Amino acid sequence: MERTLIIVKPDGVQRALVGEIIKRFEARGLRIAGMKLMQIPRETAEKHYAEHKGKPFYEGTVAFMTSAPVIVLCLEGPDAVAAARATMGATNPLNAPAGTIRGDLGINISRNLVHGADKPETAVRELALYFTEDELLSYERAADKWLKE
């Protein structure tokens, strides 16, 4: 079982797309193991995007991610990182296929509604920024047996 971090970004919250976005991940078969509404503190955003410090988009990204409330999710399931990324679509909504969150609902690369960890190791690091272990739950849903062999 793998976990991943998903953030419904400020544009997703402000455009009232939270329910639609979460619905798509759940329909994919991913379980919510943790969820919270929060305004990301600047210090947390700086840690989250530390690998991009010095790049032209860094300051704008940190400012945007701290500008309004977000929904932070821990999703769980088989190959959760890859499944979540396929559900989100390409970072640039113009390159994201129809049927993905970004392909159907995204506007541009800087307002693309969702963040998702890019690999399992990143997910572990990012989840620790937003959740303590006691805030996350693992459980079985009745439908889980229909989603995996």
Task: Respond yes or no: is residue 48 known to be catalytic.
Answer: no
44 with 36: CB under 8 angstroms?
A: no
32 with 26: CB under 8 angstroms?
A: yes
Catalytic position from the list 115, 116, 127, 131: 115
Residue 86's closest CA among 11, 9, 4, 141?
4
Residue 90's closest CA among 66, 72, 109?
109
**Euclidean distance between CA atoms 33 and 4, whole angstroms:** 10
CB atoms within 10 A of CB 56: 7
Catalytic residue numbers read 115
